[in-house]
Amino acid sequence: MSIWSFPTKIVFGAGEIQRLGQEVAALGLKRVLVVADAGVEKNGLLRAPLASLGESGLESSVFTGVDGNPTEQNIEDGAKAYAQHRAECVVAVGGGSPMDAAKLIALRAVCMLPFEQLDDSIDGGAHVPPNVPPVFTIPTTAGTGSEVGRSGVLTVRSTGRKTVIFSPRLLARVAILDPELTVSMPRGVTAATGFDALTHCVEAYLSTGDHPLADAIALGGIELVQQFLLRACENPTDLEARGGMMKAAMMGAIAFQKGLGACHSLAHPLSSEHGLHHGLANALCLPAVIAFNSSAVPDRVQRVAALLGDSDAVKAVSGLRARVGINAGLAGSGIGEEHLPLLARKALEDACHRSNPRPCTEQDLLELYRASL
Ligand SMILES: NC(=O)c1ccc[n+]([C@@H]2O[C@H](COP(=O)([O-])OP(=O)(O)OC[C@H]3O[C@@H](n4cnc5c(N)ncnc54)[C@H](O)[C@@H]3O)[C@@H](O)[C@H]2O)c1
Ligand SMILES: [Fe+2]
């Protein structure tokens, strides 16, 4: 049996952030907790959403205490802010970090189970109750696709592990994709988040499982990345390119309901142990993972290569990575041989590689890190 669904209402278009208030009010909601981070606030990205909520007569309170890789403490603080404001719903404005935090803050409003028990790697999503308050997502990066995804990722205190909480009940009610909100992204963030989108599409397409819709969407997402990522990096105000990358990010997350792969298992400990940005961590490991998977799914890898305009997928991905300005390997982020054994152990514990087309041992994961140094 397979289950395929694409349930989120997605509003797309430059300037469409002005519809936010209407969308929230349409659900009969009045009190809103807006979740963002310091960078989002500093870049003035809260102005338009707050104005729109105000115009629709909604009562908003803003919580910006979200870290780059959200922590359990961030979620607890956000849940307190939610209760204090007597909020009825959450609006996330920002990249994957505030969007994931927003979903988990909404979850905390109705479920106090420890996150260890909600962990996707033990199918903890089954404990997510049906009455999670409505979440609205306003992405300001183009990468994670968390705006339409069914997971929230946080670093759990007791294990120090980046942990995925996965349930369709965490899906946003409405996502508003306004390319104007992404033009302030610096080049490095554009490149790294774009590589997260590409990695979602590639890993979903290569992953085990039967999901023809996800496969087609993943291929469409790869095509968009090829067309628009470099353009968005080189011309930050090019709204067509920014919009193209927002679509690619959204499609990547829809596609990875099929599954991800070894690259995400390698990336997660790089963030929790060394603080690397998630998209950058993926970008640094993706070529080695594609090379590793080529023998298992050669036709699919070939198809990815063709969409990226090359006969060799590894070369195509490495080439794009260099062109967008990601040049150094893991060593450039301070990772050395001495860090790899612990990272490999943590990567093995991560659930994403279970749907990798070629099974991975701890030794394989270690070699993949080594090849990415
Ligand atoms: N839920 C999922 O399915 C999923 C998938 C992939 C990644 N993630 C998670 O998402 C997080 C990463 O999200 P991200 O890559 O979007 O980065 P992010 O949300 O951490 O943002 C990165 C930085 O960019 C800044 N920023 C955001 N938008 C900006 C803009 N328009 N202009 C200027 N600066 C801006 C932020 O303030 C922050 O400093 C990680 O925690 C990762 O684990 C979740
Ligand atoms: Fe990701």
* Residue 40's pLDDT band (cuts 50, 70, 90): very high
Query: How far is the C-alpha of 109 from the C-alpha of 119, rounded, in Å?
Result: 18
Answer whether residue 30 shows pLDDT above 90.
yes
Atom nearest to 151 CA in ligand 1: 1
More confident residue, 270 or 5: 270
- Give the model confidence (pLDDT) of 278-334 as tens digits: 999 999 999 999 999 999 999 999 999 999 999 999 999 999 999 999 998 999 999
Which bound ligand lies closest to the C-alpha atom of 39?
A: 1
Ligand 1, atom 34, lies closest to the CA of 185
Q: What is the pTM of this model?
A: 0.96
Answer whether residue 373 shows pLDDT above 70.
yes
Pocket test of ligand 1: the residue of 47, 278, 286 to mutate, having most ligand atoms within 8 Å of its CB, is 278
- Give the model confidence (pLDDT) of 142-163 as tens digits: 999 999 999 999 999 999 999 9
Cα-to-centroid distance, 259 and ligand 2 (Å): 11
Atom nearest to 103 CA in ligand 1: 1
Residues with CB under 6 A from ligand 1: 37, 39-40, 43, 45, 68-70, 94-97, 100, 140-141, 143-144, 146, 149, 151-153, 181-182, 184-185, 189, 193, 196, 253, 278-279
Cα-to-centroid distance, 86 and ligand 2 (Å): 32
Q: Taking residues 269-278, report their average pLDDT.
A: 95
Cα-to-centroid distance, 231 and ligand 2 (Å): 21
Q: Taking residues 331-338, report their average pLDDT.
A: 97
Query: Using an 8 Å Cβ cutoff, are 177 and 11 in contact?
Result: yes
Ligand 1, atom 33, lies closest to the CA of 185
Q: What percent of the chain has pLDDT over 70?
A: 99
Residue whose token pair is 């979620």: 75
Query: How far is the C-alpha of 17 from the C-alpha of 283, rounded, in Å?
Result: 30
Which bound ligand lies closest to the C-alpha atom of 188?
A: 1
Listed residue (187, 192, 85, 102) closest to 138, CA to CA? 102
Q: Taking residues 255-278, report their average pLDDT.
A: 96
Strand partners, 174: 9, 136
Average pLDDT of the chain is 97
Query: How far is the C-alpha of 188 from the C-alpha of 334, rounded, in Å?
Result: 17
Which bound ligand lies closest to the C-alpha atom of 194?
A: 1
Helix (H) or strand (E) holding 163: strand 162-166
Answer whether residue 2 shows pLDDT above 80.
no
Question: What are the backbone angles phi and psi of residue 66, rounded to the nearest 5°?
Answer: -115, 130
Answer whether residue 7 shows pLDDT above 90.
no
Pocket test of ligand 1: the residue of 185, 189, 272, 352 to mutate, having most ligand atoms within 8 Å of its CB, is 189
- 169 token code pair: 């009940």
Cα-to-centroid distance, 66 and ligand 1 (Å): 10
Q: Taking residues 109-124, report their average pLDDT.
A: 96
* Residue 274's pLDDT band (cuts 50, 70, 90): very high
Q: What is the pLDDT of residue 5?
A: 72
Ligand 1, atom 13, lies closest to the CA of 96
Ligand 1, atom 35, lies closest to the CA of 185
- Give the model confidence (pLDDT) of 172-224 as tens digits: 999 999 999 999 999 999 999 999 999 999 999 999 999 999 999 999 999 99
Pairing of strands 135-139, 162-166: unpaired
Helix (H) or strand (E) holding 135: strand 135-139
Q: What is the pLDDT of residue 311?
A: 97
- 204 token code pair: 């979903």
User: In sequence order, what DSSP letters do the residues of 226-294 get, joined into one string?
Assistant: HHHHHHHHH-TT-HHHHHHHHHHHHHHHHHTTS---HHHHHHHHHHHHH---HHHHHHHHHHHHHHHHT
Cα-to-centroid distance, 96 and ligand 1 (Å): 4
Q: What is the pLDDT of residue 286?
A: 98
Q: What percent of the chain has pLDDT over 90?
A: 97
- 297 token code pair: 């799914």
